[in-house]
Chains A and B, each alone.
Chain A
Amino acid sequence: MRGRSAPVLGLLLAWSATAAEIPVSERRSGFDAMSPDIQAMQQDEMANPGLLWLQDGADLWGKAPSPDRPACAGCHGEAGASMRGVAVRYPVYDAATAAPIDLEGRINACRARHQGAAPFPRESRELLGLTTYVAAQSRGLPIAPPDDPRLASARAVGKALFTQRMGQLGLSCAACHDDHAGRRLGAALIPQGHPTGYPLYRLEWQGVGSVQRRLRNCMTGMRAEPFANGAPEFVALERYLMDRASPLPLETPAVRP
């Protein structure tokens, strides 16, 4: 897949022009279509199981990885102040690596650069916890894509991936989430596919997972080979998806069926 993507990119960009984008006024969170009991599970501060992960993150935020290195709080102070408005901008451009970086990647980069600590594995309890804690500080804020020209190529790649047919079923993200959102696949409503609440608690997972885990599910469902955890393709797709979801409010930690 990755080997093939470069030569066909031009073609993909041409295809993307045919995708029907959802106008800003018609963008809807998957929350709206959920049954009232699952909506209540998300909104009740004592019933949302994602808060178990969030609390793990809150503890990690204040804990130094080693005695001579600062905790997250050592540099950033109170997350409620310093991290509010951060997650709604991600993924952003990381000057140090001259590449786009998602929130999980930023946390791990911070660990390496400032805490002298090994990265947490993607989908680990620790990384999901910290990411949930950081993202939840922006709960209720509208998703606000950065106006950064250095992200232009990631946006283009993300959009191309969104509209590219892949896998044995010949589907694309757009074929479901642009062209058929609001209709049903089996008994389930096809959502517009906005990543407004990640990391989120999915009843199917019986736990919290990242947007990349969700994207891997989608690719497996399309009978395509998923990209690796943290792959640049996923970061590009995340960038496009957050542009496409703007300005819906962030819901982390959301609950979904």
Chain B
Amino acid sequence: MARTLISVPKTAEAGEIVTIKTLISHPMETGFRPGADGRIMARDIITDFTCLYDGEEVFRAETFPATAANPYLTFTTRATRTGTLSFIWRGDNGFEQTETATLTVT
């Protein structure tokens, strides 16, 4: 399991726009770099990130080798009701990781 750090406000008012910040441990090996033996190292990147709000997609990103190692991504969503935010990262070599956070709407 890759280490992740996710920042979601614990509470928000209904209608408030909240900022979500995500960090995940991943080498994002580009597939363009030679290794110690001089041969190009195989690509190993996260290719897709999705955020669901109670199961409904509210944000998605396609990522490429130009994303820095240990990807950092911030985006926003409008708080509508108390619910679960799911964060799903997918990538090369079958990489898939899901984390969740609860957003309480007051």
Binding site for B on A (CB under 8 A): 46-47, 49, 51-52, 55-56, 206-207
Contacts and interface: CB of A to CB of B under 8 A. Distances in A.
- Main SS class of interface, A: mixed
The number of chain B residues touching the other chain, given as a range, is 10 to 19
B70 A46 contact: no
B21 interface: yes
B25 interface: yes
A207 B3 CA distance: 13
Instruction: Indicate the member of A51, A52, A56, A206 with the most B CB atoms within 10 Å.
Output: A52
B22 to A, nearest CB: 9
Contact of B21 (A46, A55, A206, A207): A46
B101 to A, nearest CB: 13
A19 B27 CA distance: 41
Interface in B5-49: 5, 7, 21, 23-25, 27-28
A49 B70 contact: yes
A47 B72 CA distance: 7
14 contacts: A46-B21, A47-B21, A49-B23, A49-B70, A51-B23, A52-B5, A52-B23, A52-B25, A52-B70, A55-B3, A206-B27, A206-B28, A206-B68, A207-B69
B23 A47 contact: yes
B27 A55 contact: no
Contacts of B3: 52, 55-56
A49 B26 CA distance: 11
A228 B22 CA distance: 37
Contacts of A47: 21, 23, 72
A46 B69 contact: no
B23 A206 contact: no
Nearest to A47: B72
Given A46-B5, A46-B21, A206-B28, 20 more contacts: A46-B7, A47-B21, A47-B23, A49-B23, A49-B70, A49-B72, A51-B5, A51-B23, A52-B3, A52-B5, A52-B23, A52-B25, A52-B70, A55-B3, A55-B5, A206-B27, A206-B68, A206-B69, A206-B70, A207-B70
B103 to A, nearest CB: 16
Contacts of A52: 3, 5, 23-25, 70
